[in-house]
Amino acid sequence: MERFFLLVLSGCLGVSRVTADSLSPPINVTIREVKANSAVVSWDIPEGDPVIGFAITQQKKDVRMLRLIQEVNTTTRSCALWDLEEETDYIVHVQSISMFGTSPLSEPLRFRTPKEAETQGTKNEVTMEEVGQATQLRAGELIIIVVVLIMWAGVIALFCRQYDIIKDNEPNNNKDKAKNSSECSTPEHPTGGLLRSKFPKNNNNNNRLPSVNIIEV
């Protein structure tokens, strides 16, 4: 890739070029990223043109001096302009270069560089917008975190409530079990009393009363 820079005085010197009749001039020439001391010019090439490079002429408005930027063996479609003066009007033309010569000049593109202070102000505005977006993102993250914490607190509270209910029901269950076991052990006395013998017990074996059997005829 070879690049040539020429600074000529159009009133005194003529720039000699061989123009290729079959080569169309670049289209969609635009300027972007305009700053106080630099800018970027971009363009498109008509389909089918055997382009191997480009040439750009940069000129101040109402000034006869111009700058020529020429680059070959490249397929790039943009070029940076530098050493510009702030608050200055410029005119830019773009030409395509082929093996047979150069194309006609593109339509003139006019632009004006801003003040350095305006450029700084634009940077500050962009920075403030980025800070605002970051703040919005952080606020959204905090809202999500708070909602998740509230949900977890609700789950924990529900679990504790269920645990307390189960714990309070355990004594009643134990009482019911004891009552049921007592009823099963004394079937003849639902109140839980013990069976007693129909005959009084006498610890003295010698004073036992004789048993009497009465037979009725």
Q: Which residues of 68-90 are buried (b: 16+ CB within 10 A; e: fewer)?
A: bbbbbeeeeeebebeebeeeeeb
In a domain, 82, yes or no: yes
- On the question of pLDDT at 112 being above 90, the answer is yes
**Which three-class secondary structure state does DSSP give residue 139?**
helix
Q: Which residue has the higher pLDDT, 216 or 57?
A: 57
Give the distance, in angstroms, between the CA of residue 51 and the centroid of all CA atoms in the same chain: 42
Q: Which helix (H) or strand (E) holds 162?
A: helix 116-185
Whole-prediction pTM value? 0.48
53 in Cβ contact with 63 (< 8 Å): no
- DSSP calls for 75-123: ---EEEE-SPPTT-EEEEEEEEEETTEEPPPPPPEEEE---HHHHHHHH
Tokens of 125: 């505005």
Average pLDDT taken over every residue of the chain: 75
Q: Which residue has the higher pLDDT, 89 or 63?
A: 89
In a domain, 9, yes or no: no
In a domain, 73, yes or no: yes
What is the 8-class DSSP label of residue 207? G
User: Residues 173-195: pLDDT tens digits?
Assistant: 666 666 665 555 544 444 544 44
In a domain, 141, yes or no: no
In a domain, 99, yes or no: yes
Contacts of residue 206, defined as CB under 8 A and 6 or more positions apart, other chains included, come to none
Strands 89-98 and 53-60: antiparallel
pLDDT, residue 195, reads 46
- Domain hosting 65: range is 27-116
Handedness of CA 47, 48, 54, 58 (dihedral sign): negative
- On the question of pLDDT at 57 being above 80, the answer is yes
- On the question of pLDDT at 164 being above 90, the answer is no
Q: What span, in angstroms and rounded, lies between the C-alpha atoms of 20 and 152? A: 76
- On the question of pLDDT at 1 being above 90, the answer is no
Q: Which helix (H) or strand (E) holds 68?
A: strand 65-72
Query: 35-44, 71-80, 118-127, 134-143: which range is least confident on average?
Result: 118-127
Tell me the CATH number at 52: 2.60.40.10
Q: How confident is the model at residue 142 (pLDDT cuts 50, 70, 90)?
A: confident
Q: What span, in angstroms and rounded, lies between the C-alpha atoms of 18 and 55? A: 13
Mean pLDDT to the nearest integer, 97-114: 92
pLDDT, residue 158, reads 87
In a domain, 88, yes or no: yes
pLDDT, residue 15, reads 40
Mean pLDDT to the nearest integer, 107-111: 94
In a domain, 48, yes or no: yes
Domain count, the chain: 1
Q: What span, in angstroms and rounded, lies between the C-alpha atoms of 11 and 18? A: 20
In a domain, 171, yes or no: no
Q: How confident is the model at residue 217 (pLDDT cuts 50, 70, 90)?
A: very low
Mean pLDDT to the nearest integer, 106-119: 87
Task: Tell me the residue type at 76.
Answer: T
Q: Which residue has the higher pLDDT, 151 or 127?
A: 151
Q: How confident is the model at residue 118 (pLDDT cuts 50, 70, 90)?
A: low
86 in Cβ contact with 116 (< 8 Å): yes
